[in-house]
Structure 1
Amino acid sequence: MIQDTIAAIATAVGEGGIAIIRISGPDAIATTARIFRSRDDLREVDSHTVQYGHIVDPATDEKVEEVLVTVMRGPRSFTAEDVVEINAHGGVVAVKKVLDLVLLQEGLRLAEPGEFTKRAFLNGRIDLMQAEAVIDLIRSKSDRAFQVARKQAEGTLSKRIKALRQTVIELLAHIEVNIDYPEHDVEDLTSAYIREQSGKALEDIGKLLKTANEGKILREGIMTAIVGRPNVGKSSLLNALVQENKAIVTDIPGTTRDVIEEFVTINNIPLRLLDTAGIRETSDVVERIGVERSHTALEEADLILFVLNNNEPLHADDRLLLERLEGRQVIVIVNKTDLEGRLDRQELEGLFPADSIVNMSVLEEEGLDGLEKAISRLFFEGQLDSGDLTYVSNVRHISLLKRAQQSLVDAIDASNAGIPIDLIQIDVRSAWESLGEIIGDEVGDSLIDQIFSQFCLGK
């Protein structure tokens, strides 16, 4: 049972139309009533109603702020506890005065990051997977990522995990009955049941894991490095994609000295763009550091946009880069198509598939659609508008699904090899526990603390 009452600012700090101080816990309503003056006693009002009045300093009876107060009695609230939200004027001073009264004078505790959502989980209103989806909602960078997170927050993915656990627990119960009552066990029937139930669960896990790559991309974005020789148009491409002059563009080679990172969504595809320094041999100390960082970005990237100059033949530096791109996800951008073509296209098409080569003129703003289609085809097989938004996007969930998958494979292999059933039980139980960790049924306090520490204060 959670005994204390917590408070925090639930809106971004700074100037705004309104700011909200959220209070949750057994003393939320009584505490607010002591500092709130209105026509009605806050302790007597109906749940889910809004009251107009003033926050007053009880020590001096001085009005501190004109506010609206929303009362939500548990368990019909986000945390499943009594919750009060004080809507004050947006601004640092006004909010601080109200919060100081709540914390210093009334003695409530400042909430830890994510503690409101943590209480919703601990009080059983949501499971751990739904709680983690809340932070994905906040951080989503595209409409599609938001929709996926919303589905997870609603419990769509949790239902599939719970159904999986039910399949596995039925198998586990069957095995444990046969261990306790071996005289009733028919070995052939038990082995067939193990293969049937494990196979059914493995099929469902496989379907979920098929969505993992797309889900992870939607959640975190595609780490995309823009690479190439100096002055081929890398920084111009970055500026065109973010539709803002983020990178300095000049005719002088080596202008970009460091890696510039920007987040952009094109055609509902989130990209973490890294504009790198032009890769070449140089005696300039500062530029050399930039080139080294470009090499690091190149190694870490999920996608590489390799920019070439249509107006020049392949250079020795281009060929050196080509060697490093072998086996990587690469889209070749032939830039400056508004100029005379001096690049050997036949040689280029012998090195890369035709559908991974995009013709562009960043200066003329031509070819961006082709780049969007190439990225979509490469990472999503061109299907970005599927109605099913049940994606697995969290790395922790993916890892636990793979662990459960391996445990069930081991159980089938052990059954086929004639391993004693009490040893097979260990693998089946391991799969059940791994699935339980996803939704929070089998998880320790340290992991819970680690997950919720990633949240912002007041959520």
Structure 2
Amino acid sequence: MEDTIAAIATAFGEGGIGIIRMSGEKSKDILDQIFTPINKKNLQNQPIVNRRLTYGNVIDPNTNQIIDEVMAVFMKAPYTYTMEDVAEIHCHGSSVSLQKTLALVLRCGARLAEKGEFTKRAFLNGRLDLSQAEAVIDLIKAKTEKSFQLALSQMEGNLSKKIKEIRAELMDLLVQIAVNLDYPDEDIEELTYEKQKESLLLIGDKIDKLIASANTGRMLRDGISVTIIGKPNVGKSSLMNAFLKESRAIVTEIPGTTRDIIEESMSIRGIPIKLTDTAGIHETNDVIEQIGIEKSKQSFNQADLIIFMLDANRPLSKEDMEIAEYIGEKNTIVLLNKTDLDVCISIDEIKKFLPNAIVLFTSMVNETGLDKLESEIEKMVYGGNLVQKESMMITNVRHKELLMQARLSINDALEMTNRMEAMDFIEVDIKRAWELLGEMIGETVSEDIVSEVFSRFCLGK
């Protein structure tokens, strides 16, 4: 890779510091052209020392105009992020300074980096495998401590290590099959169908465990969408405010106060949540309320979890029943709210029309029942296994799909093994599983897939 690439590596907007990053063999030469180090003690120029920040000015070599007062650092290959020569210029965080400095860098011989090209070079140069590279973007986009730790674990290579272990077991099988096929008369250990079946079952079990973690991993990475739904004045906005610990939604005794949906992002026990408070669903002639109710229904259809709130001190109404019918089979937690007053709805009544729903008693006035609600949300994410300490989970849709395809190939190999079919036929499916798992870490992957992965990155990473 002869090109030297450059980009702004910090987020757009004002900040204390903004960073221009370069990678490639011309990085040092470009830095020398535009950066003048300054020793504040004697005002004499000082050389740039490898891997040490140096104070100075960025100066346009054509006009001798000072662009900005900066700190610069040069890092010699291979001990860098990309394993190439890398230079960084730490400017003041003004977009004007950053754009002018970047334009100067490009004029002096660099080209603008493509999305994710720094990490792509780290992958192509062998510093990261493909799954580790994908974890970089997850690390940047992490919304909670748990999602950050999952991405960090993957970037450190824990997932790669597991996939390599499974691939090594598949390769052992392939080698044994090849030896038995090519040298049947030699004095070597025979690979029986029973031994092969045993190995395939163990490998399949390991793949199954990774696939089983995918749903939890996705929710911890991307979060879940939770919509609060119910009639007017049952406590939806109060619940929203209780979760956020601030008065985000207007709360009054007047029904229909919320006429539009209110969306907020938050975290519940380390799980990223997009929480939506909806307009109360009921019959109305008010045009504005009707628009709000339609938006409520749209939010409902997109939600991963419905929180259906009922006024516990009033009998179930026709509107309650209509909302319950609308909910159908969706994941639902029913909150019997206002339990600080007389309760006249039973769990059995709820179960008649929402048999799979979880029913909890709450009081927004006394702030009771919220801990149980948070626990149920946590159970939903972890599949009820709250003691799970597995640091490695599948968080990437691409990885899940490859694992599922590999599992199908293992299943096909097992079926043929049970039927004692020809070993060379079974070999095809085992090799297919080995190749699919290789795509996860980039060892058997096409250039098109690599380009697609890195196109999802931001500039400068």
TM-score of the two chains, using structure 1 as the length reference:
0.91
Contact 2:146/2:220 (8 A) holds in 1: yes
| 2:6 is the counterpart of 1:4 | no
How big is each residue's C-alpha offset from its partner over 1:221-270, in whole Å with a ceiling of 9 and x where there is no partner? 12222111233222332233233444444545444444443221012122
Partner Cα distance (2:423, 2:291) in 1? 60
Structure 1 residues 337 and 429, CA, compared in 2 at 3 Å: closer, same or farther? same
Partner Cα distance (1:21, 1:343) in 2? 63
Partner Cα distance (1:237, 1:61) in 2? 62
Q: CA RMSD in A?
A: 2.7
| 2:117 is the counterpart of 1:118 | no
Aligned pairs (5 A) from 1:90-105: 90-103=93-106, 105=107
How big is each residue's C-alpha offset from its partner over 1:185-234, in whole Å with a ceiling of 9 and x where there is no partner? 99983422321221221121122223222111101112222111233222
Contact 1:224/1:301 (8 A) holds in 2: yes
Determine the structure 1 residue equivalent to 2:82: 79
Contact 1:29/1:43 (8 A) holds in 2: no
Determine the structure 2 residue equivalent to 1:347: 349
Structure 1 residues 247 and 182, CA, compared in 2 at 3 Å: closer, same or farther? farther
Structure 1 residues 93 and 140, CA, compared in 2 at 3 Å: closer, same or farther? same
Letter in 2 for 1:6: I
Structure 1 residues 186 and 98, CA, compared in 2 at 3 Å: closer, same or farther? closer
Structure 1 residues 382 and 421, CA, compared in 2 at 3 Å: closer, same or farther? closer
How big is each residue's C-alpha offset from its partner over 1:96-137, in whole Å with a ceiling of 9 and x where there is no partner? 22112112x213211122111111111110011111111111
Letter in 2 for 1:38: P
Contact 1:16/1:91 (8 A) holds in 2: yes
2:69 to 57, 63, 66: 66
| 2:437 is the counterpart of 1:399 | no
Which shifted more, 116-125 or 43-52?
A: 43-52
Partner Cα distance (1:106, 1:184) in 2? 66
How big is each residue's C-alpha offset from its partner over 1:364-415, in whole Å with a ceiling of 9 and x where there is no partner? 4443222111212333256556443111111111111111111111101011
Contact 1:228/1:278 (8 A) holds in 2: yes
2:138 to 136, 139, 146: 136
Structure 1 residues 189 and 177, CA, compared in 2 at 3 Å: closer, same or farther? closer
How big is each residue's C-alpha offset from its partner over 1:345-378, in whole Å with a ceiling of 9 and x where there is no partner? 5523666689932222334444322211121233
Contact 1:209/1:401 (8 A) holds in 2: yes
1:296, distance to aligned residue in structure 2 (A): 3.7
How big is each residue's C-alpha offset from its partner over 1:324-349, in whole Å with a ceiling of 9 and x where there is no partner? 43433211112233444343455236
1:89, distance to aligned residue in structure 2 (A): 1.1
Partner Cα distance (2:190, 2:231) in 1? 66
Letter in 1 for 2:33: R
Determine the structure 2 residue equivalent to 1:276: 278
Structure 1 residues 287 and 99, CA, compared in 2 at 3 Å: closer, same or farther? same
Letter in 2 for 1:18: I
Which shifted more, 431-440 or 205-214?
A: 205-214
1:416 to 411, 415, 418: 418
Letter in 1 for 2:193: S
Partner Cα distance (1:266, 1:293) in 2? 25
Partner Cα distance (1:101, 1:380) in 2? 51
The secondary structure found in structure 2 opposite 1:168 is helix
Structure 1 residues 258 and 171, CA, compared in 2 at 3 Å: closer, same or farther? farther
TM-score of the two chains, using structure 2 as the length reference:
0.91
The secondary structure found in structure 2 opposite 1:279 is coil
Partner Cα distance (2:110, 2:340) in 1? 66
1:446, distance to aligned residue in structure 2 (A): 2.0
Partner Cα distance (2:317, 2:189) in 1? 69
1:50 to 53, 67, 82: 53
Partner Cα distance (2:447, 2:117) in 1? 13
Determine the structure 1 residue equivalent to 2:29: 30
Contact 2:70/2:89 (8 A) holds in 1: yes
1:182, distance to aligned residue in structure 2 (A): 5.0
Contact 2:334/2:359 (8 A) holds in 1: yes
Partner Cα distance (1:449, 1:16) in 2? 31
The secondary structure found in structure 1 opposite 2:82 is coil
Structure 1 residues 143 and 312, CA, compared in 2 at 3 Å: closer, same or farther? same
2:227 to 214, 225, 228: 225
Contact 1:376/1:383 (8 A) holds in 2: no
Determine the structure 2 residue equivalent to 1:193: 195
2:171 to 169, 172, 183: 169
Contact 2:325/2:353 (8 A) holds in 1: no
Percent identity between matched residues is 47
Partner Cα distance (1:297, 1:123) in 2? 45
Which shifted more, 141-150 or 191-200?
A: 191-200
Contact 1:208/1:392 (8 A) holds in 2: yes
The secondary structure found in structure 2 opposite 1:189 is coil
Partner Cα distance (1:22, 1:384) in 2? 42
Contact 1:14/1:91 (8 A) holds in 2: yes
Which shifted more, 287-296 or 424-433?
A: 287-296
Determine the structure 1 residue equivalent to 2:241: 239
1:322, distance to aligned residue in structure 2 (A): 1.9
Determine the structure 1 residue equivalent to 2:390: 388
Which shifted more, 444-453 or 211-220?
A: 444-453
The secondary structure found in structure 2 opposite 1:49 is coil
Structure 1 residues 64 and 379, CA, compared in 2 at 3 Å: closer, same or farther? closer
Partner Cα distance (2:430, 2:46) in 1? 52
1:423, distance to aligned residue in structure 2 (A): 1.7
Contact 1:74/1:80 (8 A) holds in 2: yes
How big is each residue's C-alpha offset from its partner over 1:116-162, in whole Å with a ceiling of 9 and x where there is no partner? 11111111100111111111111111111111111101001110001
The secondary structure found in structure 1 opposite 2:345 is coil
Letter in 1 for 2:433: A
Contact 1:313/1:344 (8 A) holds in 2: no
**Which ranges of structure 1 fall in alignment gaps of 5 or more residues?**
none
